[in-house]
Amino acid sequence: MQRYKIFHRTYYNYSSSVILGPHRLLLRPREDYELRIESFILKMTPDAALLWHRDIEGNSVAIATFTLPTTQLLIESEVIIQQYNEAPLDFIVSDYALRYPFVYRGEEEILLSAYKALPDPHSVASVNQWIKNFWHPGEKIQTYTLLQRINEYIYRTLAYRIREEPGVQSVEQTLAYGSGSCRDFAFLFMQAVRSLGLAARFVSGYLYAPLMAAQIGSTHAWAEVYLPGAGWKGFDPSIGKMAGSDHIAVAVARLPEAVPPISGSFAGTAISSLAVGVWVTPLI
C-alpha cells in the first residue's frame, strides 16, 4: 500500500468585480477496493455553499454556489489517499475475451454500447489507417497484448507536450502534429480501441511522477478499457504503461469534455486569468 497527499490549487483573478455562477467541482478521488480516502479538505475563497452528489458515472461532484461579488476565486483541495493498485497486471480475463477479436456478450454489450460509440466517419478512417502500423485485420492476438501495443506505440511515436489550451485535439490533429498532451493521447487511445469494437472511457486524475515531485504539476489523464472478467483497466499512453499505484483517478466519463476538474461561469465585464498547481507527495 502507498499513501499520497495531493494538494490541488486553482486560482482565478478577475480584472473587476464579478458575480460567480454555480461551479461544478470534480476533485474528490474515486474510492473503491484499490483506493481509500483517509481525509479530504476543500476550501474556497469567497465562501460557498456546497451540495454533493454522485453523477451517472459514480463520480463525486460538488456544486458550489456563491452569494457575494468578488475579484478573486481560490479553490484548494487536499486529500490523503491509500493506493493499493500495486500489481496492475494481476487480473483474469474471461476465456472468450482472452484473444482479439471477440464480442461482448449479453448484458455487457447493452451496458457498454455508449462506450463503444465511434467518432465521425472521417476520424474512423484516420484511426483505422493508423492502426495498420501495429495490427492488421485478421491477425489473432492476445487482447492485453494488442492494448499494450497501442499504448506503447503512442508513447514511442508521438511527442508529449504540456498544452495549456482548453479542449482535446482531434485524432487527425494529434497524428498530424505528432504530439499532444496526456488528454490528447488518452483520447487517441480511446478512439483506436473503440474502432476495434471495444469499450473505452476517459479518466481524469493525478499522477505521481517522482522526477517532478518538487515542481508545480497539473492534473493527468489516461484511458480505461472494459475487459470481461477483469472490469475497467487503465492504460496510460503518456508513459506507455498500465495505470498503477502512481495513478489516482478522480473522474471517468464517456467523453473527455465531461470531466473538467472545475467548471463554472461568472457575470460581469471582467477579464479573467487562471493559475493551477498540483502537488502529489508520497507519505510514509
Q: What is the pLDDT of residue 138?
A: 84
Whole-Å CA distances, 263 to 63, 71, 93, 205, 270: 10, 17, 37, 15, 17
Q: Are residues 57 and 148 in the same domain?
A: no
* Report field, pTM of the whole predicted structure over 0.85: yes
Q: Give residue 86's pLDDT.
A: 85
Q: Check residue 211 and give its pLDDT.
A: 62
Same domain for 110 and 221, yes or no, is yes
Location of C-alpha cell 493499493: 84
26: domain range? 2-84+260-283
> For residue 200, which of 246, 260, 136, 146 has the smallest C-alpha distance?
146
30 with 12, same domain: the answer is yes
Same domain, 130 and 28: no
DSSP for 43-95 reads EEES--EEEEEE-TT--EEEEEE--S-EEEEEEEEEEEEEE----TT-----G
Same domain membership, residue 208 and residue 106 = yes
Question: What pLDDT, on the 0 to 100 scale, is given for residue 137?
Answer: 86
Q: Are 226 and 232 in contact (CB under 8 A)?
A: yes
pLDDT of residue 217: 73
Assess contact for 251 and 205: CB atoms under 8 A. Answer: yes
Closest CA to 27 of 1, 56, 63, 57: 63
Q: Are residues 160 and 178 in the same domain?
A: yes
Query: Average pLDDT by consecutive 10-residue portion of the chain (284 residues)?
Result: 96 98 98 96 97 97 97 98 91 96 95 92 90 90 97 97 87 96 96 96 94 67 98 97 96 96 96 94 91
